[in-house]
Structure 1
């Protein structure tokens, strides 16, 4: 589930990441943004530089939030986590040992001081119990419906005002993104990106990129506009698209009326996204510091 950077209808703006849905942040990730969403789940040892504003929040152990946390519902704060601002919870609060909250906390509901189960163990125990009861359909629904329109940030990701650096594929739909995007296979659809895009294979559909696009295979389709250069081993572009800079394809450049874009990221049986199998070797510069 956390193998793909998956974004639908999100907005990166003025130090805040806004999403009208749930936000799942994988372990060891660093965000130079605050986060606004419905349910916000943060894996262990993450660092969030701004505020968290949500309806429900679950912070795993050793999480650091430089801002404040405002939660309309229940909150779960894992042990050894730090909040350098204030914690305001309008529902129940379950809090672990050795949690540091610099400006204090308010909770309208029940306060329980104990160690919440780590997120992975919590989900694992829940799934095992459903399987023990023979509720296979409930397990499928858990994967399909437990999170509403989730924005998924894989583990070890780095999101800043300058860069979005990923060790994973990225699928970004109907979003406004600020920063240079770096990842494996990258699919952009109905987006506006204020920065460059560099990946293994890159597909740009109905989008505006205010920067360069680089990859092994690059697909520019659906009247996309690139305000920079395009560079790859092979470049495929549909008529009606525009590129402000140069177009360099070391093995060729094809401009056609219709370009078929391969499936860079596929869907498994439960509707989750996963990394494409049998990908070929990455180009140099696949990982950018």
Structure 2
């Protein structure tokens, strides 16, 4: 699942989040990334700067900007950074890494192929359990998977398009781009772009664009500044659509709309952990 959690902000050049950012393999992100802990899967391209508290890049990654880690950094083999790499902690770097404008590391520099992310977490967790530090182990697990941005494998994120083969959920965020996904749910989000998917729920949100899907639900004082085209449209009173509404099988406007399709009703952390396993396995 593609997850854009609360307190995420898109501007014209960067995605800014106060939590973790996990990007799968074979993705293209036409933004810089600003986050706490940033994990980038193999063969992913970031077209901007990456600024993180801790940075981990897989093999064959490309960063078309500067990379800055305020803590430790792990750079996989055959990766490239078009700008400068600055690391304020330890740097672990793989073979044949290209850094066009040089690098600076304040801590220890180790040249080898870094451990895959999931293996690193697993070994660290085992060591904490061996030492009897159960509470710290639980905190580690919660920290690794708590409310991160999650961009799954083979996704594209740009100013014009947010495209994935998976479901997408946006929560309490400001997002730029036309969304193309399987099922889509927005909650307390302002989206500057259209939405195309199967089942779509617009909840307490504002969408500046058209909405097209099989079933479209508009609830909790939402606004849509565009047309709606679907097989079925379910809309609560108090919502506003500034455009035409086409429902081939019907349009229902009610005081309260019940959502029977489980759009976005999944355990996000489960999807995130599975994504890490796929990215690094």
TM-score by length of 1: 0.87
* 1:144-177 deviation per Cα after TM superposition (whole angstroms, max 9, x unaligned): 3324431111111100110000111111111111
Aligned to 2:277: none
Q: How does 1:72-83 map to 2 (within 5 A)?
A: 72-83=70-81
Q: How does 1:1-289 map to 2 (within 5 A)?
A: 3-125=1-123, 142-262=140-260, 263-268=262-267, 272-274=269-271
Mark the CA change 1:253 to 1:28 in structure 2 (over 3 Å): closer, same or farther: same
* Deviation larger for 257-266 or 86-95: 257-266
Please state which structure has a larger fraction of its residues in helix.
2
What is the distance in 2 between the residues matched to 1:77 and 1:274? 24
Contact 1:266–1:273 under 8 Å retained in 2: no
Gaps of 5+ in 1: 276-289
- Deviation of 1:261 after TM superposition, in Å, equals 2.4
- Deviation of 1:6 after TM superposition, in Å, equals 3.9
Which secondary structure does the structure 1 equivalent of 2:118 belong to? Answer: helix
Q: Please give the root-mean-square deviation of Cα atoms over the aligned residues, in Å.
A: 2.2
* 1:79-121 deviation per Cα after TM superposition (whole angstroms, max 9, x unaligned): 1000000001111111111000000001111111111012233
Mark the CA change 1:153 to 1:123 in structure 2 (over 3 Å): closer, same or farther: same
What is the distance in 2 between the residues matched to 1:216 and 1:140? 41
Contact 1:61–1:118 under 8 Å retained in 2: no
* 1:233-268 deviation per Cα after TM superposition (whole angstroms, max 9, x unaligned): 110000011111110111110000111224313344
Contact 2:93–2:114 under 8 Å retained in 1: yes
